C-alpha cells in the first residue's frame, strides 16, 4: 500500500486500484476563443494547473497507473445537448463557429485536450455531455472492470466539472483525492472554497492533496 499526505488526513491507496482522472483539460476551457472565454472568463487563470498536472501525469505513467481523461462536449448535431444547456450563459455558444472550430463539439480542435496533457494509447478518453463525468458515460463500468477504488483527480474547473464528478464518484463508493495545484477555476475564490468543501466534515466528498504529495506517495 502507498500513502498520500493530504487533508483532512492521509489516505492509504494501492497503485493497482487507483486511477488518475484528468478532467476537461480542453482548449475550449483553457485557451482564448473557446467556451470559457465566450462565457466571459479569463482563461489564463486555468493555465496554472497545466504544469503540475504534467508532473503528476508523468509520474503516474512511469508507475503504470491507470490514466483516464474526460472531455465535455457534444455530437455535431447537438442532439445530446439539452436545450436548457444550449441557451445558458445569456446567448448560444455551443455549436457556434470559433477560432478553434465549433465550440464544445466533438472532433473540433477546441474540444480536444491540450498538447501538454494529450492522452497516449491505453488511456481511455470519456466524452461526456454534462458537467459530471459519470452522467451518460461508461466511466463507472470502466472503473469497475479495473477494480478501481481510488481516484486522483485533476482538471478544470474545480467548482463545476471537478466538483460534480467528485460528488458523483463519492456516491458510487470511490475515494477521491483532488490535487489542489492541478485544478483551477475562473474564480479563485470558488477554487479555494470548493477545495474546502471537499475535505470538510472529515472528508465529506474526498481528500485534498497536491502534486508533490502524490508523486512522493507513489515513489
Ligand atoms: N464554465 C465552467 O466553469 N466550467 C464548465 O463549463 N465546464 C467544466 O468545468 N469542465
Give the whole-angstrom CA distance, residue 49 versus residue 97. 27
Q: Which residue has the higher pLDDT, 125 or 92?
A: 125
Instruction: Choose the residue to mutate in 23, 71, 160 for probing ligand 1, maximizing ligand atoms within 8 Å of C-beta.
Output: 160
Instruction: Choose the residue to mutate in 110, 131, 137 for probing ligand 1, maximizing ligand atoms within 8 Å of C-beta.
Output: 131
24 is catalytic: yes
Q: What is the pLDDT of residues 43-56, one digit of tens each?
A: 999 999 999 999 99
Q: What is the pLDDT of residues 100-153, one digit of tens each?
A: 999 999 999 999 999 999 999 999 999 999 999 999 999 999 999 999 999 999
- Please list, in sequence order, all residues whose beta carbon lies within 8 angstroms of the beta carbon of residue 20, skipping any fewer than 6 positions away: 56, 57, 60, 65, 66, 67, 68, 151, 152, 154
127 is catalytic: no
Give the whole-angstrom CA distance, residue 97 versus residue 105. 10
- pTM, to two decimals: 0.98
Q: Is ligand 1 within 6 A of the CB of residue 25?
A: no
Q: What is the pLDDT of residues 193-218, one digit of tens each?
A: 999 999 999 999 999 999 999 999 99
Query: pLDDT category, 90, cuts 50, 70, 90?
Result: confident
User: Locate cell 491507470: which residue?
Assistant: 66
Residue of the CA atom closest to atom 8 of ligand 1? 161
User: What is the separation of C-alpha 55 from the centre of its chain, rounded to a whole number of angstroms?
Assistant: 16
157: preceding bond cis by omega (within 30 degrees): yes
- How far apart are the CA of 47 and the centre of ligand 1, in A? 14
Atom index in ligand 1 nearest the CA of residue 160 equals 9
Q: Is ligand 1 within 6 A of the CB of residue 157?
A: yes
154 is catalytic: no
Atom index in ligand 1 nearest the CA of residue 157 equals 9
Q: Is ligand 1 within 6 A of the CB of residue 191?
A: no
Instruction: State the burial class of residue 40 (Cβ atoms within 10 Å of its Cβ: 0-12, 13-18, 19+).
Output: exposed
Do residues 56 and 62 lie in contact, with contact meaning Cβ atoms separated by under 8 Å?
A: no
- How far apart are the CA of 2 and the centre of ligand 1, in A? 32
Atom index in ligand 1 nearest the CA of residue 72 equals 10
- Please list, in sequence order, all residues whose beta carbon lies within 8 angstroms of the beta carbon of residue 85, skipping any fewer than 6 positions away: 94
Cα end-to-end span (Å), the chain:
12
C-alpha cell, 117: 496533457
Amino acid at each position: 500500500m502507498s500513502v498520500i499526505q493530504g487533508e483532512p488526513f492521509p489516505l492509504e491507496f494501492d497503485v493497482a486500484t487507483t486511477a488518475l482522472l484528468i478532467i476537461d483539460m480542453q482548449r475550449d476551457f483553457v485557451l482564448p476563443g473557446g467556451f470559457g472565454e465566450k462565457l466571459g472568463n479569463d482563461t489564463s487563470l486555468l493555465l496554472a494547473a497545466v504544469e503540475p498536472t504534467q508532473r503528476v501525469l508523468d509520474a503516474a505513467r512511469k508507475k503504470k497507473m491507470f490514466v483516464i481523461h474526460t472531455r465535455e462536449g457534444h455530437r455535431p448535431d447537438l442532439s445530446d445537448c439539452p436545450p436548457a444547456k444550449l441557451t445558458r450563459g445569456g446567448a448560444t455558444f455551443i455549436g457556434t463557429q470559433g477560432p478553434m472550430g465549433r465550440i464544445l463539439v466533438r472532433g473540433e480542435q477546441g474540444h480536444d485536450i491540450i498538447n501538454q496533457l494529450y492522452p497516449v494509447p491505453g488511456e481511455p478518453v470519456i466524452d461526456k455531455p454534462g458537467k459530471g463525468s459519470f452522467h451518460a458515460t461508461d466511466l463507472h463500468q470502466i472503473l469497475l472492470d479495473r477494480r478501481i477504488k481510488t481516484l486522483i483527480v485533476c482538471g478544470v474547473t474545480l467548482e463545476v466539472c471537478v466538483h460534480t464528478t467528485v460528488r458523483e464518484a463519492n456516491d458510487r463508493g470511490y475515494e477521491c483525492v483532488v490535487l489542489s495545484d492541478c485544478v483551477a477555476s475562473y474564480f479563485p475564490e470558488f477554487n479555494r472554497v470548493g477545495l474546502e468543501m471537499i475535505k470538510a466534515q472529515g472528508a465529506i466528498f474526498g481528500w485534498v492533496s497536491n502534486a508533490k504529495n502524490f508523486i512522493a506517495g507513489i515513489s
